[in-house]
């Protein structure tokens, strides 16, 4: 934040950790969401406790983000603002998605409510917005355009823009992780391989933005202390990549434990693999598991024998 003699240095991190200021509106929303989820989980009868714990963690992370020094100093201090970004776009959404709230909601819907819900989540709009390429473009555009343009400078002088940015980051994070690690009533579940690619590319975006901010000149963000900008870049790079790696480990566990994901390359790569093994032009039906297809196994053995003759 700009002071009378230039940008004001950021607060001590001890102050960020010990300062608390209630955000009554946000807290009321979180309280209602928590009550609804807990009621639904108890009425379900067999709802996994780990999902309820994940939802509680999402709410706790939100309370920390909007009531602690992260919220108090997050508008004027660039580095603290970057912590807020990571909480909104990664931490809260990741916990939220692993809690499966949409699945819990669908379980308790009946009749017209259930039909309306199914129509929305399986509709064309839902398919487009959860398509991996769409999700990646949205994530990359939001991270790049809010950090490497004049947006941060404009946001420094506008609380309304600051709050709009918070909503933007939260929605973007929910969309990204619902597609990347979610199994919660997805209209089209991306292959695990595609999910890993999605997260690796997103990690590259975070790294790029973080490095640029670490090298940013003082003139890039005049409203902020340049040391805070450089520290914020380091938080984006190291913190963002570390969080992504942790979530990718979770995704790896999901892949290993999912029987249907044993050979899961996605429709395009699986089609190419089938074509390479069987020698067809892709016009034939490729339904079923290629690795359990007897005819495909015979074609694979013939291909190996041919290669042995040609190169033996």
Mean pLDDT by 10 residues, the chain (312 residues): 57 89 96 97 93 97 97 93 96 95 92 92 88 94 95 92 96 95 76 90 96 94 93 96 93 80 50 54 49 58 64 58
Q: How far apart are the first and last CA of the chain?
A: 71
Same-domain check for residues 42 and 138: yes
Is 7 among the domain residues?
no
Same-domain check for residues 67 and 192: yes
Nearest Cα to Cα of residue 7 among 80, 79, 83, 76: 76
Nearest Cα to Cα of residue 248 among 282, 283, 200: 200
Same-domain check for residues 84 and 214: yes
Give residue 288's domain range: 267-311
pLDDT at 282: 47
Please tell me the distance from the alpha carbon of residue 179 to that of residue 182, in angstroms, as a whole number: 6
Same-domain check for residues 280 and 297: yes
Same-domain check for residues 276 and 152: no
Q: Rounded to two decimals, what is the model's pTM?
A: 0.81
Same-domain check for residues 153 and 272: no
pLDDT at 3: 47
Counted domains in the chain: 2
Nearest Cα to Cα of residue 141 among 169, 164, 160: 169
């Amino acid at each position: 934040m700009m002071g009378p003699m230039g940008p004001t240095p950021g607060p001590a991190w001890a102050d960020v950790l010990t300062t608390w200021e209630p955000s009554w509106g946000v807290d009321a929303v979180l309280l209602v969401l928590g009550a609804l989820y807990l009621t639904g989980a108890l009425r379900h009868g067999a709802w996994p406790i780990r999902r309820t714990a994940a939802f509680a963690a999402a709410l706790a992370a939100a309370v920390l983000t909007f009531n602690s020094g992260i919220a108090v100093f997050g508008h004027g201090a660039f580095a603290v603002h970057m912590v807020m970004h990571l909480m909104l776009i990664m931490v809260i959404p990741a916990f939220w998605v692993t809690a499966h709230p949409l699945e819990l909601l669908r379980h308790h819907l009946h009749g017209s409510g259930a039909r309306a819900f199914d129509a929305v989540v399986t509709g064309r709009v839902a398919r487009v917005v959860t398509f991996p390429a769409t999700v990646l473009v949205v994530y990359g555009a939001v991270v790049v355009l809010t950090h490497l343009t004049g947006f941060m400078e404009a946001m420094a002088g506008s609380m309304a823009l600051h709050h709009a940015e918070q909503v933007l980051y939260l929605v973007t994070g929910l969309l990204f992780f619902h597609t990347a690690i979610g199994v919660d009533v997805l209209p089209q579940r991306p292959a695990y391989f595609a999910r890993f690619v999605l997260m690796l590319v997103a990690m590259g975006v975070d790294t790029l933005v973080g490095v640029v901010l670490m090298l940013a000149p003082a003139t890039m963000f005049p409203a902020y202390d340049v040391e805070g900008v450089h520290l914020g870049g380091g938080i984006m790079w190291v913190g963002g990549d570390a969080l992504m790696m942790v979530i990718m480990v979770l995704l790896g566990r999901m892949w290993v434990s999912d029987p249907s994901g044993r050979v899961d390359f996605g429709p395009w790569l699986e089609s190419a693999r089938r074509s390479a093994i069987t020698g067809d032009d892709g016009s034939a039906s490729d339904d079923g598991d290629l690795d359990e297809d007897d005819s495909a196994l015979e074609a694979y053995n013939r291909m190996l024998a041919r290669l042995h003759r040609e190169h033996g």
